[in-house]
């Protein structure tokens, strides 16, 4: 059975990977719309884990 932190870790890894490979994020000082969406998804998962009483590591 997958742990509750797996989706959270995957969302964070996806966001960080996007920042590494996205030309727009690298060229400008601010993240692109896709990066903002990925970060929002990660933050929502993290917030949900905290509300459900799960341990959240940064």
pLDDT of residue 27: 92
Q: What angle do CA 6, 10, 35 make, to 5 degrees?
A: 150
Phi-psi map region of 56: left, alpha, beta (phi>0 left; psi -120 to 50 alpha): beta
Q: What is the mean pLDDT of residues 4-10?
A: 84
**Better-predicted residue by pLDDT, 28 or 37:** 37
Stronger pLDDT, 15 or 2, i.e. the higher one: 15
pTM value is 0.79
């Amino acid at each position: 059975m997958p742990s509750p932190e797996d989706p959270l870790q995957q969302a964070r890894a996806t966001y960080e990977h996007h920042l590494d490979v996205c030309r727009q994020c690298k060229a400008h000082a601010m993240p692109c719309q896709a990066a903002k969406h990925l970060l929002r998804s990660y933050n929502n998962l993290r917030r949900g884990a905290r509300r459900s009483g799960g341990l959240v590591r940064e």
